[in-house]
Structure 1
């Protein structure tokens, strides 16, 4: 709360802050959740001059970030625009910026080759997209057993190692003065007169002017006591790792039955949705089924399943990012989305601009938590 200089009257905080509330007082920002979104927010806010603490119940990138396929790409030419389109349009540019700014953050810009889901219209392609024929597809992916007659080549797309990228962002945030508080679970937000004052953690309390909740599927637990039911549910997904000859898959290949790319260590990564039981036998069977699809798609026999990981992606009810202030509560800001790895650099930049510099981002206008009804409105 701010007070007028000539009277002892509390004045509510504006929705968006500024670097200095009073002369010499930096905004204290607590970021809850050290996945890639939280790491990006911490980096951008610290770089903008805020006093930042980044908290996580475990270690950075130890949650769903580590289970991400980590496909980096902007909107597709045939996509129907939605409130998240403006955010996605800047993703590639922001990742290239972070490659210049953040030591150790690297994108493998190998492009993506996609086919089989929809008709390809040469007249509605995004920049960097091209329709290719079977010969061109074979040049891009020589080991394909059957080459698609028509495919979409998005040459500007890439992928990252999400754990390495998150760790690089955390180190960069620390270089700008941010504190990392790992193994420190946030159990509640401290409020006074509907204004945040800090957070309570497993290791004690911490003051804050602004709390940014980037805790994925844990975010609803923190928002519930505020009277706001955050409509985010866990969406299970598998990330499978295979050994394979180097260079077997050159681009990011996406078909209706297979999404596969080569990781930096030479292994193949395959992503898939999952609606089975959390059972090791079921997970192994899913991995073996994907192994059969790999060998049916690519001319190779020497491929072996290494591991199958089950992750829980945070999926908003309308599948759009939820980014902005919690209605009716001062100083609490939400940033929950799928895919966080894709959107992190752009979301982090815009969020920091709002909470530190007080500049409201037009690109986030249709993504605010206020689009959902608070409990008091029922």
Structure 2
């Protein structure tokens, strides 16, 4: 890959998986990159992700993010080849009970399976559905390990990591962002890429841009279990569970108003009963329940692109950051380093929120 005609200075704010992917791709493209985080890489909501990797399903209604999602699996496989230590567990996903399964709406890599095949895929299920959807190409990652691998690879390409350094403001002169102010000093930049999740609106506010992003809490539960109890990623209306690389089970659960650690423990115990009712394994034990807060744009679509009316600042905020990171990072780096506008991002620009009077919500196909 050819470098830029001049050395582009890029500061990436937020070392979650999206920020790490942008830093890696921009450094690899020849930019001078600084990746800044108020803590350590992947110490925020990235660590609390269920980390299911997959493209759009055959029954999903298209939306402006669909073209982005169609490249996710290909980009993850590319990164597996490029980045040392970056691994995806390609075990597929098994779904049932969500909707009427229709042969006519299957995408490539999807197939309907009967109870016998369900039993072959998940032999420890107590009750097998008559019909299920097998997403053969889907996988999962350890989001902390992947983020750390991307950050290391970015540094190998010359990027600098500034951990434990909070960005307090963007430097603005004549409607042009010229860098950032941090708790440990100032950094100049040609472009500042804000990948700070729920903190992004605070940084954009002084620019005169109201970034419509709200916190979206969810629970991530961890259980000990016999190895191989869950072989694929199992998703039903009442349970999303997969095996992590360390052999623990991870369960994603919706937020139900939990306000303290006792509430979190009770939610975990309820899920424990659900697991033992679903799988033939009486010796599952609750390890932990974490509350993560992902960013949710007002229309539920990713927000990726320059801030309208302000030069030198670029936003990359999305609910499904773990899924989209490799594709978004590649396209963002191409835009900010080489100036190549990505048509795949056309419907996701921050400018769609410029006028509240003109804004109309658009539904996103999947999270």
Can you give the 5+ residue segments of structure 2 that lack an aligned partner in the other structure? 360-367
Aligned-residue offset at 1:300:
1.1
188-197 or 90-99, which moves further after superposition? Answer: 188-197
**Cα distance between partner residues in 2 of 1:80 and 1:298:** 33
The whole-number CA distance in structure 1 between the counterparts of 2:206 and 2:355 is 12
Question: How many Å separate the matches in 2 of 1:353 and 1:191?
Answer: 24
What is the CA-CA distance between 1:275 and the residue it aligns to? 2.8
Q: CA deviation at 1:331?
A: 1.0
Which piece of structure 1 moves more, 182-191 or 274-283? 274-283
Q: CA deviation at 1:25?
A: 3.9
CA distance in 2, matches of 1:175, 1:278: 42
- Alpha-carbon distance, 1:277 to partner: 2.9
Instruction: Please give the per-residue CA displacement for 1:28-64, whole angstroms capped at 9, x wherever unaligned.
Output: 0000000000000000000000000000000000000
Q: Helix, strand or coil: the match of 2:287?
A: strand
TM-score when normalising by structure 2: 0.95
Q: Unpaired segments of 5 or more residues in structure 1?
A: 1-20
Could you tell me which residue of structure 1 aligns to residue 201 of structure 2? 220
Q: Secondary structure, in 3 states, of the residue corresponding to 2:50? A: coil
Quick check: 202-211 or 23-32, which moved more? Answer: 23-32
Distance in 1 between residues matched to 2:3 and 2:262, nearest whole Å: 59
Q: CA deviation at 1:24?
A: 7.3
Distance 1:22 1:58, change over 3 A: closer
For 2:104, what is the secondary structure of its paired residue? Answer: coil
Q: What secondary structure does 2:10 align onto?
A: strand
Q: Are the aligned partners of 2:24 and 2:154 in contact in 1 as well (CA < 8 Å)? A: yes
CA distance in 2, matches of 1:23, 1:172: 19
Contact 1:228 1:375 in 2 (8 A): no
Query: Secondary structure of the residue that 1:52 maps to in structure 2?
Result: strand
Q: Tell me the secondary structure at the aligned position of residue 249 of structure 1.
A: coil
| Structure 2 contact 308–354 (Cα < 8 Å) conserved | no
d(CA) in 1 for partners of 2:107, 2:75: 17
Once the 2 structures are TM-superposed, how far is the Cα of residue 374 of structure 1 from its aligned partner?
Answer: 5.3
Distance 1:191 1:374 in 2: 22
Alignment RMSD: 1.7
* TM-score normalised by structure 1 residue count: 0.93
* Equivalent in the alignment of 2:137: 156
Whole-angstrom distance in 2 between the partners of 1:24 and 1:291: 57
- Report the equivalent of 2:118: 137
How has the CA–CA distance of structure 1 residues 296 and 179 changed in structure 2, closer, same or farther, with 3 Å as cutoff? Answer: same
Alpha-carbon separation, structure 1, partners of 2:322 and 2:17 = 6
The aligned length equals 358
In structure 2, how many angstroms separate the alpha carbons of the residues matched to 1:364 and 1:39? 19
Q: Are residues 128 and 376 of structure 1, via their aligned partners in 2, closer, same or farther at CA, if it must alter by over 3 Å?
A: closer
